[in-house]
Amino acid sequence: MSETVKIIYGDQTIELPVIIGSEGEKAVDITQLRNKTGFITYDPGFANTGSCKSAITFMDGEKGILRYRGIPVEQLAEHSSFRETAYLLVHDKLPSLRELNRFSILLNDHSLVHEDMRQFYETFPRASHPMGLLSSMVNALRSFYPELRIDEEEIDMTVTRLLSKVRTLAAMSFKISRGHKVVYPRPDLSYCANFLNMMFDTPVRPYLVDNDLVRALDVFWILHADHEQNCSTSAVRLVGSARTNLYASISAGIAALWGPLHGGANQAVIEMLTQVHRNGETVKRLVERAKDKNDPFRLMGFGHRVYKTYDPRALIMKGVCDKVLDRLKIDDPLLDLAKQLEAVALEDDYFVSHNLYPNVDFYSGIILRAIGIPTNMFTVMFAIGRLPGWIAQWKESMDDPEWRIGRPRQVYTGPRLRDYTPIDDR
């Protein structure tokens, strides 16, 4: 017999079914609550509300678990590539060698963008933020590349078109913003190596591909590929619930990711370190300010809303970060400050007792800076990595037999009925 939950209000008792997930998590099904009682639930931020059933990503914040399609992210970061992880998320299986080769060929074949799209960049002010540009350009893709039917034969085309062209658009925005010649993708380079080459190759200084940096970027994108029903993913699903096209839905996700409390957190880490370095504050003083409830200062890159223990992605990213910094031997006061801050926070009783460990944004900001990615491009890097997750979530919502257009309720707190007052009597 299935489990139920009883709700008692006055002399009325109703039973609501309990939904049990494959990992044992439980949810009360309240789809009939309003019909039976006239009540709705109130849950600001939706921290206790499940908006869908999903078979893509499992995370357990209390235990520090993150899995894509059942596979631990630790294993993917060690053995997989971003291309393979993207395939896994969208298709619910690891590709065979033949399937991966075909996927890679499609990524290469669809990496160019229509030349007319370059004109769009010229109409934006040079100081425009790359995330605003990227959101606009992804939306514009539909004008150049019509939608395909989302079936098994054509999903690869849709996925590779977005993965390839968004990577190219991101690199183009960087080059054009600096007045440099656009570098086109090369068929002999891998997905990550191609991006770095498009970013940093110049006619006067050819870019030399560093395999350690390529692998660091590969892991960075794997760790950001999906993260359950976060703000941007929820935005993609909500916009898509109106049966909006994939390009517009992804554009909405990019806009949501732009926020400093979401994808912009890695940029906020470097901006915080820059401000601290400029002010000449010590790490000890920084930690004291973070503990002071009366101080508005906020220590960026520490703690996580969902993870109540160490962010599993941060553990992996820390190892990559250490390797990159050791490999490059960079003399950067901000990176030195970050390492000092990490060491103090990991040993401080207040931070440990409050689970304020360095999160993935802390280490990813350091890695991206070390690679040479400009700070205002950090969130764009996040968006490229999150693309396969957004696409998988959008596709899953399109196939959902329980689909309904997203339409949250509210508790109205405004004025009660009152009459209109003519302007002469006000």
- Sheet of strand 71-72, all strands in order from the earlier edge strand to the far edge: 57-60, 65-68, 71-72
Tell me, what amino acid is at 236?
V
Cα separation, 187 vs 184, in Å, equals 10
186 in Cβ contact with 197 (< 8 Å): yes
Rg (CA), the chain: 24
The pLDDT-based confidence of 350 (bands split at 50, 70, 90) is: confident
Question: Between residues 366 and 250, which one has the greater pLDDT?
Answer: 250
Is the predicted pLDDT of residue 274 greater than 70, yes or no? Answer: yes
The pLDDT-based confidence of 151 (bands split at 50, 70, 90) is: low
The pair of structure tokens assigned to 40 is 């709705």
The pLDDT-based confidence of 355 (bands split at 50, 70, 90) is: confident
Sign of CA dihedral 318, 174, 88, 238: positive
Is the predicted pLDDT of residue 353 greater than 80, yes or no? Answer: yes
The pLDDT-based confidence of 147 (bands split at 50, 70, 90) is: low
Q: Which pLDDT tens digit goes with each residue over 357-410?
A: 888 888 888 899 999 999 999 999 999 999 999 999 999 999 999 999 999 999
Q: Which pLDDT tens digit goes with each residue over 43-82?
A: 999 989 999 999 999 999 889 999 999 999 999 999 999 9
Is the predicted pLDDT of residue 1 greater than 60, yes or no? Answer: no
Q: Which residues contact 230 (CB under 8 A, 6 or more apart)?
A: 262
pLDDT of residue 150: 59
pLDDT of residue 328: 87
Sign of CA dihedral 217, 186, 140, 244: negative
Does 201 qualify as catalytic in the annotation? no
The residue from 201, 218, 226, 361 that is catalytic is 361
The pLDDT-based confidence of 345 (bands split at 50, 70, 90) is: confident
pLDDT of residue 79: 97
Query: Which residues sit opposite 348 in a β-bridge?
Result: none
- List the single range of 17-31, 83-97, 307-321 with lowest mean pLDDT: 307-321
Q: Across all residues in the chain, what is the average pLDDT? A: 90
pLDDT of residue 152: 62
Is the predicted pLDDT of residue 349 greater than 90, yes or no? Answer: no
pLDDT of residue 215: 96
Mean pLDDT of 215-228: 96
Question: Between residues 198 and 286, which one has the greater pLDDT?
Answer: 198
The pLDDT-based confidence of 122 (bands split at 50, 70, 90) is: confident
pLDDT of residue 343: 85
- Give the count of beta carbons closer than 10 Å to the beta carbon of residue 419: 5
The residue from 201, 226, 304, 311 that is catalytic is 304
Does 354 qualify as catalytic in the annotation? no
283 in Cβ contact with 341 (< 8 Å): yes
pTM over 0.75: yes
Question: Between residues 245 and 80, which one has the greater pLDDT?
Answer: 80
Is the predicted pLDDT of residue 97 greater than 90, yes or no? Answer: yes
Tell me which DSSP letter residue 358 carries.
Answer: B
- List the single range of 217-221, 236-240, 330-334, 407-411 with lowest mean pLDDT: 330-334
Q: Which pLDDT tens digit goes with each residue over 174-197?
A: 888 888 889 999 999 999 999 999
Cα separation, 55 vs 50, in Å, equals 13
pLDDT of residue 196: 96
Domains, the chain: 4-65 (2.20.28.60), 72-401 (1.10.580.10)
